[in-house]
Amino acid sequence: MGASLTAQRVGYRVAYRVLQVVWFVTRPNKHGVKCVVTDHDRVLLVRHTYGAPVWDLPGGSIKRRESPLSAARREMNEELGLADTDWRDIGELQGRMDHRRDTIHCFRAELSEPTLRIDPVELAAASWFDRGRLPPDLGAYVDEIMARAPATDGR
């Protein structure tokens, strides 16, 4: 890993820690997106370079005046290089994390033989997992969101 990439990753971690302090003080209502990317019976999970070192669904924050679908498209293009993907809305959920109140808008896309371009600054890892054998160290919302995205063959 080059010095520039290392510095950028450190910047993300520091910024996230600062945000955690801000969230502790302000207890904000935040809106974000999480995306279930599947390839038949496999699901893509990522590890971010900031926050808890868990496997999570890719996603991010919704910008001011941005629709949830636009945010999903933007985030998946930035993080994974997925452009022109057909995202299907699978609902939203409410939760609390890091002293903020989250509204998570959930989307799903089925890809066939996907080619990904992983953002090495934001993502430490990305891997495909059989949906029946997800790793034990999952992000807070993964199980609930996966329940909204049944397997494509009806299982």
Residue 153 has what pLDDT? 47
Q: How far apart are CA 125 and CA 135, in angstroms?
A: 14
Q: pLDDT tens digit string along 15-66?
A: 666 666 665 667 657 889 999 999 999 999 999 988 788 999 999 999 999 9
Helices and strands in the chain, H and E counts:
3, 6
Say whether pLDDT at 10 is over 80. Answer: no
pTM (two decimals): 0.79
Residue 154, pLDDT above cutoff 90: no
Q: Is the pLDDT of residue 124 over 80?
A: yes
User: Among 102, 90, 103, 96, which residue's Cα sits nearest to residue 147?
Assistant: 90
Q: How far apart are CA 148 and CA 155, in angstroms?
A: 13
Query: Minimum mean pLDDT among 50-54, 116-120, 122-126, 143-147: which range?
Result: 50-54
Q: Which domains are assigned to the chain?
A: 3-147 (3.90.79.10)
